[in-house]
Structure 1
């Protein structure tokens, strides 16, 4: 059966510390995202861009920057992603900054509750995004979505999915992490989040990492991938707001994506934090599209 895919643009940098990720959806379109997916036999509908509040670019208030606007954007994302899932389609959220992962994943969790499915979330990122307003050095909410999903955050954000917490931390696997704030580090440990940081990948290899991250899934598991493009090494993906050196190489990242594809269970996807203002000739969006091709089964040889 042909897989039905919906592209949803969320052009905002409302939760970020640098301007520019609002242009991410257009950068992906310029990189021929839809046509590339269609070349792999997918039926793709581009639903256009969501229209939310502008970025007022204000300082933090109570440890949060732009809380009300972030809430509004995440509600829009939640409704859009949930609508596509209820139609039996695979939603791809084109960000925008990673605070929107809250709206997207809370929608996926809600859909799983409705459909009686189990959920596994792979969070591919340089950052754990597990800050709270008490721990954050910046107040930027793109550093908080995983904490909010797990029930730690302002009432308006943690309740978006209709249940608190929206997800159990045990359903999440974080991969590629290499930048965690001091207070956040203790909090991640306390909550028991499963994190495969870059040291783990260096020591054990990407294959072993992904085998563990994908273990114990069955036919009733909905697999969601939240792909922050700063997951990739900054040398190959310069167009992101918060580059951190020492990320996965091109081949390590491809293996990660290919092993996800091999499960056949990918059911929703976020592509976040592409910032064309910091990029070189759209290189990062082109690379992201290349990686997502592998998520949908591109491989060098025919594989069983």
Structure 2
């Protein structure tokens, strides 16, 4: 594969400092070397420049923290991702908080008629300013990509929506707000909460996910939030939720996606080295990327 890495040192979509160092931590954990060892052609495009923002709620819009700076960064990211896909390369985006998914999807979706999305996350990220308890935009990217929310977020890249609800699969959810639960039911979004993962097993979850997306999409974006994993395996995240996906379950998921050959773009987000233990979470992210891009145990 021809893979282009884009770092997005974004920490404005939430309030805990340190996640802007995520791309550096992932590079330090050896992502380029790991993927090159699998015979992929790796191009590291460096980091998107993130503007500064006042870390206070905007009194005119208290439910959208740092809206202007987040929107501007996502416009830059959308352009960078668009250019990578136009050149026939695979965009691999390193975060940064999950608000960057708005820009990644804006850059990718224009190249597909029916883009599928696997949202591997403890959270649904389906809030809008009306439903968000915090006003943190990292809890809104999937809603924005569906065309729901503030125009500054929904219209990144100049078009909306980026994805259809029937082309989304959420895996690993275990912390959903009431507004998100309602939206999932309203829109008929396919979701495997930790209850389903425990009940069915990861093999069945991934077999169903792959079959579901294969028949209705012409490309699939993987948006993997490290807080989808249990904090035991990924402690360096801003919003850890106990009872998550295991290290081995996550490797199996990535291995099955590699075998299915359906993933056309990916991002790994919410690595926060300030909250981490000896870069364990970044190392986990790199190991999962290895499995996604074809690394096998034998």
Scaled by the length of structure 1, the TM-score of the pair is 0.94
Whole-angstrom distance in 1 between the partners of 2:247 and 2:177: 26
| Corresponding residue of 1:76 | 76
Structure 1 residue 235: Cα displacement: 0.6
> How far did 1:248 drift?
0.9
- Distance across 1 between alignment mates of 2:34 and 2:175: 32
Which residue in the other structure is 2:119 paired with? 123
Moved more, 34-43 or 186-195: 186-195
Secondary structure of the residue aligned to 1:104 is helix
Q: What is aligned with 1:31? A: 29
Q: How does 1:290-301 map to 2 (within 5 A)?
A: 290-301=287-298
Q: Matched residues in 2 for 1:188 and 1:62: separation? A: 25
Partners of 2:6 and 2:45 within 8 A in 1: yes
Please tell me whether the aligned partners of residues 167 and 216 of structure 2 are also in contact (alpha carbons under 8 angstroms): no
Match of 1:225 in 2: 222
Instruction: Give 1:265's match in structure 2, choosing from 239, 262, 265.
Output: 262
Aligned-residue CA RMSD (Å): 1.4
* Equivalences, count: 295
Give me the whole-angstrom Cα distance separating, in 1, the residues matched to 2:53 and 2:21: 13
Q: Distance in 2 between matches of 1:36 and 1:16?
A: 30
The residue that corresponds to 2:148 in the other structure is 152
Equivalent position of 1:96 in the other structure? 96
For residue 285 of structure 2, what is the aligned residue in structure 1?
Answer: 288
- Alpha-carbon distance in 2 for matches of 1:252, 1:43: 28
Residue 248 of structure 2: SS of its match in structure 1? Answer: helix
| Alpha-carbon distance between aligned partners in 1 of 2:55 and 2:41, rounded to the nearest angstrom | 38
Using the alignment, how far apart are the partners of 1:122 and 1:17 within structure 2? 25
The CA deviation at 1:218 is 5.9
Q: Could you tell me the TM-score, scaled by structure 2's length? A: 0.96
Residue 156 of structure 2 aligns to a residue in which SS? coil
1:278 to 267, 270, 275: 275
- The whole-number CA distance in structure 2 between the counterparts of 1:228 and 1:286 is 14
Matches within 5 A, 1:1-304: 3-59=1-57, 61-113=61-113, 118-216=114-212, 217=214, 221-301=218-298
- Tell me the distance in 1 between the aligned counterparts of 2:284 and 2:225: 13
Equivalent-residue separation in structure 1 for 2:123 and 2:223 (angstroms): 12
The DSSP-based 3-state class of the residue aligned with 1:161 is: helix
Query: More deviation in 208-217 or 228-237?
Result: 208-217
CA shift in 2, pair 1:148/1:31, >3 Å: same
CA distance in 2, matches of 1:164, 1:82: 15
For 1:66 and 1:219, locate their aligned partners in 2 and report how far apart those are by CA, in whole Å. Answer: 36
Moved more, 140-149 or 180-189: 180-189
